[in-house]
Amino acid sequence: MKAINPKNNELIREYPEHTEEEVLKIIGLVQTAHDEWRKVPFTVRAEKMHKAAEILRSRKEEFARLISDEMGKIIRESGAEVEKCAWVCDYYADNAETFLSDEPVQTDARESYVAFDPLGVVLAVMPWNFPFWQVFRFAAPALMAGNGAVLKHASNVPGCALAIEGIFREAGFPEHLFRSLLIKPSLIPKVINDSRIKAATLTGSEPAGAAVASLAGRNIKKTVLELGGSDPFIVLDDADLQKCVTTAVQARMINAGQSCIAAKRFIVVESRLKEFEDMFTSQMAALKLGDPLDESTDVGPLAREDLVREIERQVNASVAAGAKLLLGGKRKEGEGAYYLPTVLTGVKAGMAVFTEETFGPVATIIPVKDENEAIAVANDSEFGLGASLWTADIEKGKKLAREIQSGSVFINGMVKSDPRLPFGGIKKSGYGRELSHYGIKEFVNIKTVWIG
């Protein structure tokens, strides 16, 4: 398994893959660790999870460099990602016991309550775009709930996978409670079919989610899926355009646009269209493309060469279908998997950049007549992850938020994940929730206890 630096396509390191025999042995070790861990008091679990947060913060520069080298994220964002992982560790260390305390219910029994017991060993199939955050937002609640975990991380970030395993071990968790499997996707069915795996969670593409859900379903195992997004960013006629545009650029270009919740379809009422196009394109053009390790860089490379080719296909097909190119529209000359910040306007339903998820630095502007058409266009998607809505009328914004088909709506703000709020989508963006008290309850047995 090879880690390739996308800024120059050079080999960082090659890692030996686990054999099928080694995978089955690791699952057994995790199961044994879980059998003891589930009995450990919350206070002890919390102590170790706080220690994991301390390790993340104390070695932030080291882990940030690892992230940037393996998948190309600019170093400022990599450091922020590590900090966010520490936050989620502390959050669940502080709140897990409260979230999972027995809930008394008044019935005709002498006593009745709802208890929350760990499920067992959970498989996590995770992507490369936030190689630490995606893992920790699953692992922190799962481990605090008393579960064990095996991680099948994306094949281009093996160093991150092993580093995370090392963090939990160094923090004092049982040696084999959290293990990373360096395996090809072809071995995932073997893992899901194993009776010791009780549930699975996946963050990734729609085809990958469908495959894992199908396998888990045949084995009657719980799944949580966080899949793709084509998030709308709706600009109404009374929006504060200065703040709106600055946020729009940030929302589109985080992680070079490689984020499921990055704003992708900018739906703008015609009365503000020209002003939005000019301001947005100007700010996009001012972004500095370059070395992700340079603190002044705004946009790094895409994570792999095939991702550049996919963005090229989507943009070229949309321009051929009538979209107007305002900026960019091609890869950067020279080495590395770079694509220029790109703005397309006049985008319509049916174009590739409208119907598909665009995982790169490409923004699409879609003109609409009014707020009713804006909501209709926002909902005209197979996806439903997040949405951003901009208006000075907060009551109107709250009303329209109810009409938007998505897992979250941010009014006058950028869609983002927060440990305190549930995160997930509907439609082909997946099901189930991560984070908050909802997330920790996804992988527990919600058990009724009735005493006569």
Instruction: List active site positions.
Output: 226, 260
- Closest to 225 (Cα-Cα) out of 245, 198, 205, 239: 205
Question: Rounded CA gap, 376 and 366, in Å?
Answer: 12
SS3 string, the chain, reads: CEEEECCCCEEEEECCCCCHHHHHHHHHHHHHHHHHHCCCCHHHHHHHHHHHHHHHHHCHHHHHHHHHHHHCCCHHHHHHHHHHHHHHHHHHHHHHHHHCCCEECCCCCCEEEEEEEECCEEEEECCCCCCCHHHHHHHHHHHHCCCEEEEECCCCCHHHHHHHHHHHHHCCCCCCCEEECCCCHHHHHHHHHCCCEEEEEEECCHHHHHHHHHHHHHCCCEEEEECCCCEEEEECCCCCHHHHHHHHHHHHHHHHHCCCCCEEEEEEEHHHHHHHHHHHHHHHHCCCECCCCCCCCCECCCCCHHHHHHHHHHHHHHHHCCCEEEECCCECCCCCCCECCEEEECCCCCCHHHHCCCCCCEEEEEEECCHHHHHHHHHCCCEECEEEEECCCHHHHHHHHCCCCCCEEEECCCCCCCCCCCECCEECCEECCECHHHHHCCCEEEEEEEEC
Q: Which amino acid is at 307?
A: L
What value, to the nearest 5°, has the Cα angle with vertex 432 and ends 427 and 438? 140
What value, to the nearest 5°, has the Cα angle with vertex 286 and ends 284 and 289? 90
Question: Rounded CA gap, 36 and 24, in Å?
Answer: 19
In sequence order, which residues have a C-beta less than 8 Å from that of residue 424 and are 6 or more positions away?
A: 224, 226, 385, 407, 430, 431, 432, 433, 434
CB 420 within 8 A of CB 430: no
Question: Rounded CA gap, 143 and 119, in Å?
Answer: 11
